[in-house]
């Protein structure tokens, strides 16, 4: 599963970081002092340690990001495992129902058809099956990434306020993304792949990047630049 592939990549990165730190901090000083180039190597060792001290805040942020990301990721996987026998997970089903309601309001007669076995729900729009709602459409993985980044730059209570407001924005945007995709598939199916693979993902990920930049510029670094 993609979730575990991402976890594996992160664990590999952590492993190499720990190996690098161990090697830097476990030099045998006696051996280096007895060698012809002992002073230069020892000096290099001190220089590397000095660099680590300089980068300590960055490493702290990276470590917080990884820990928060892994905790949220495993919690989400635990949630998915608990709802596997009931078809599409409850959160994704809520989104599908809301998308269906919005499409009916916009004069696009819609209905949902549940496919429990394959853990998906089909959207039936204007007398045709246009798309299917699966777990990956709920944008939770994007939200986990977003939340992990913001809390890596934790700045007190305003962090929770910003995260809450941002998640509402991302939720609405994802809802409109699915509605838009269904409309495109119902009216102009030939453009469906382009909108699904490029246009709408660019809107979602672009929004995440913009919110990240707002947090960094106006909140996380505001005290440092003052």
Domain definitions of the chain by residue range: 1-86, 87-226
Prediction pTM value: 0.77
Distance from first CA to last CA of the chain, Å, rounded? 45
Gyration radius from the chain CA atoms: 24
For 97, left (φ over 0), alpha (ψ -120 to 50), or beta? alpha
User: Whole-angstrom Cα distance, residue 182 to residue 108?
Assistant: 9
Q: What is the pLDDT along the chain (226 residues), one digit of tens a residue?
A: 444 445 555 555 554 544 444 444 444 443 334 444 444 444 455 555 655 566 677 788 889 999 999 999 999 999 999 888 888 999 999 999 999 999 999 999 999 999 988 999 999 999 999 999 999 999 999 999 999 999 999 999 999 999 999 999 999 999 999 999 999 999 999 999 999 999 999 999 999 999 999 999 999 887 554 4
CB 32 within 8 A of CB 42: yes
* 203 Cβ contact partners less than 8 Å away, ≥ 6 residues apart: 173, 177
Q: CA-CA distance, 38 to 78, in Å (whole number)?
A: 53
Cα 129 from Cα 181, distance rounded (Å): 12
């Amino acid at each position: 599963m993609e979730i575990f592939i991402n976890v594996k990549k992160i664990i590999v990165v952590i492993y190499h970081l720990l190996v690098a730190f161990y090697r830097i901090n476990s030099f045998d000083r006696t051996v280096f002092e007895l060698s012809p180039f002992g002073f230069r190597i020892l000096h290099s060792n001190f220089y590397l340690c000095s660099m680590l001290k300089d980068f300590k805040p960055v490493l702290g942020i990276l470590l917080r990001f990884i820990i928060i990301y892994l905790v949220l990721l495993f919690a989400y996987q635990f949630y998915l495992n608990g709802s596997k026998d009931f078809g599409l997970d409850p959160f994704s089903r809520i989104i599908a129902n809301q998308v269906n309601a919005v499409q009916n309001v916009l004069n696009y007669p819609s209905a949902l058809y549940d496919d429990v076995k394959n853990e998906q729900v089909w959207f039936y729009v204007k007398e045709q099956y246009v798309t299917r709602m699966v777990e990956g459409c709920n944008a939770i993985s994007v939200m986990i990434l977003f939340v992990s980044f913001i809390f890596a730059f934790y700045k007190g209570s305003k962090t929770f306020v910003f995260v809450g407001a941002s998640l509402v924005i991302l939720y609405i945007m994802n809802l409109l993304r699915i509605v838009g995709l269904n409309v495109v598939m119902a009216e102009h199916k030939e453009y469906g792949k382009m909108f699904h693979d490029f246009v709408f993902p660019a809107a979602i990920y672009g929004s995440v990047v913009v919110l990240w930049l707002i947090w960094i510029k106006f909140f996380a670094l505001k005290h440092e630049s003052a």
